[in-house]
Amino acid sequence: MPVPVAELAKLFPLDALRPETRDQLAREATVGEYVRNEVVFRVGDMDEDTIYLIEGEVRCDYPDGRTVAHAAGTGHGRYSLNDAVPRRFTATVVSQRARVVRLERRFVEKVITWDQLSRDPTYRFHESTPGASAWVFRLLHSHAFIKLPTGNLERMFQRFEEAYVKPGEVVMREGDAPDNFYVIREGTAAVSKILDGSPQVVAYLREGDIFGEDALLANVPRNATVRMMQGGRLMKLSKDAFEAVLKPPMVSWVLPAEAARLVQDGARLVDVRMPQEFIQRAIQGAINVPLYRLREDMPSLLAPGGRVVVYCNTGERSAAAAFVLNAQGYTVHAMHGGLGAMLRMQAAAAPAE
């Protein structure tokens, strides 16, 4: 059910956003409907939503016995239903019916930050034309950026460089050394790879899409060619800027013991090395999906949203794999130290003969 923009304009701090920003949030929001005695969330829940009550009343029951009423349309009702994680109380509907608006918490924070940064006419990315910030909203909503701390946004935008491109222009070529990370600000592009001896288009990109991160994360040559279909503008980060601003928060590293626990709890263990390396030596129970095939092959092995632990020999390819899979919607951890670290841990735990 679509959320009327007028509803968001009544809520804090969404009421202070520019109309274009609220329009974007309205497109991303969802509405939930409840009846009396239904629970919106329980104390201890670890959901990722910012929740506003836009109709009805709920009772907030705290573990210490306190009870607080939260009613839509009141001064207090303009605020979200407590964004603390884990949830500090249980919210139960006490009116005949109730409606809530749900927004992804991290996306809301990033969008509010962008709205504040870019509203100054002197800001280098300020544009008053309707739709001019569409590329930013799509970028911020990308799964690849879900772990980017909001504080890194300003650093990222300040270090972006703008490049104008022509139709048919090759931005990067398969086999080249990595140099920049790119975001499409205007235009479209085609991604191709050499498969079975000839170039084949494997993806199309549009405003807000990113490319070039794989090679920078893994420190390997480019694994695809990107050619512009329509002319436009690209935003790029140099290799040094990418490593300083984006690389550290993009990868969730775990030690071998934690990786083993995650796998025991149901995470899929993925070896992202080449098949020849996998055949020689691998961790028991792992499946082999080479880094260059992750985008194409992983969805058929595990639906997006699943949990994954990736590893390689050293961690370089694991970092790139984590970024790729995060962008596809997986919950990903990269194993620190790679295959060698896991084998050393297993050897140390083996009983002496």
Supply the DSSP string of 330-352, one letter for each residue: -EEEEETTHHHHHHHHHHHHSPP
End-to-end CA distance of the chain: 65
Classify the C-alpha dihedral 214-216-217-219 as positive or negative: positive
Q: How far apart are CA 78 and CA 74, in angstroms?
A: 7
Beta-carbon contacts of residue 53 (< 8 Å; ≥ 6 apart): 70, 71, 72, 77, 81, 98, 99, 100
Beta-carbon contacts of residue 294 (< 8 Å; ≥ 6 apart): 272, 321, 324, 325
98, 210, 289, 312: the catalytic one is 312
Beta-carbon contacts of residue 50 (< 8 Å; ≥ 6 apart): 80, 83, 102, 103, 104, 105, 108
312 has catalytic annotation: yes
Burial class (CB in 10 A: 0-12, 13-18, 19+), 22: buried
Q: Are 111 and 136 in contact (CB under 8 A)?
A: no
């632990």: which residue's tokens?
309
Q: How far apart are CA 208 and CA 120, in angstroms?
A: 22
Q: How far apart are CA 234 and CA 187, in angstroms?
A: 8
* Inter-CA distances, 313 with 115, 222, 295, 317, 335, Å: 42, 19, 20, 8, 10
Q: What tokens were used for 214?
A: 């794989």
Q: How far apart are CA 104 and CA 321, in angstroms?
A: 24
Q: Fill in the amino acid letter for 270.
A: V
Q: Where in the sequence numbering do the catalytic residues fall?
A: 312
